[in-house]
Amino acid sequence: MRALLVGYGKMGKAIGAALVQRGHDVAGRFGRGEILSFSSDLPACDVAFEFTAPDVAPRVVPLLLSQKIPVVSGTTGWDVTSAAHLAREQRIPFLHSSNFSLGVAALRRAVAAAAAALAPFPEFEPGIVERHHAAKKDAPSGTARVLALDISREPLSKRSVPIVSLRQGAQPGEHSVFFEGADETVELVHRARSRSIFAQGAVRAAEWMIVSGRSGPLTFDEFFDDLSLKGGAS
């Protein structure tokens, strides 16, 4: 697999390392300066990994899709609706996710199960605390918002889910989901110790996206559930 790295910050470099580790090639790297002059003159590739910024992604993702380049996007804080529509129209794979951690994918399913089990008991009030590095721009995180949706989708859950966001130091990511009762607490936690978990997940999702032959907008959930049902990831 030949890949473009669009955005060559910490995540872009981690994805580059993950690609090499899994036997793939990096066809090109576009850092902050190169993205400003981003054009249709791009190296031949099988997929592009877009990890830029909320004000950059709406411009570069449609350009990549219009060049028939499948895209794995991890930039949060922007509306992907038009990009998803373009991917569907062009029949080009476009996988966007707020989090590429396999552990977070498992956490979401555990949170949904806990929300369903505790829904008949209103004394258990849900809440989320998330911590990320000081440079992260969006708050709450995309993952925290998705976790809140996972809880609120339960038909018996009519309450809003409060989210507390902390931006400190170099914390790569931590999400704690609480169901607080009168005299007991159910707590589900995921702690990232390195950005490499997100890079590995993004590369695995890209491998699946290319091999599966699917097109249009895709989700990390589809990748995770597909491989989980098959009994394990590659």
Residues annotated as catalytic are 132, 136
Q: CA-CA distance, 95 to 120, in Å (whole number)?
A: 35
CA-nearest of 69, 7, 8, 17 to 44 is: 69
The torsion angles phi and psi of 37, rounded to 5 degrees, stand at -110, 25
Q: Read off the tokens for 234.
A: 């590659």
Torsion (CA) 104, 105, 109, 110 in degrees, nearest 10: -30
Are the CB atoms for 205 and 72 separated by under 8 Å?
yes
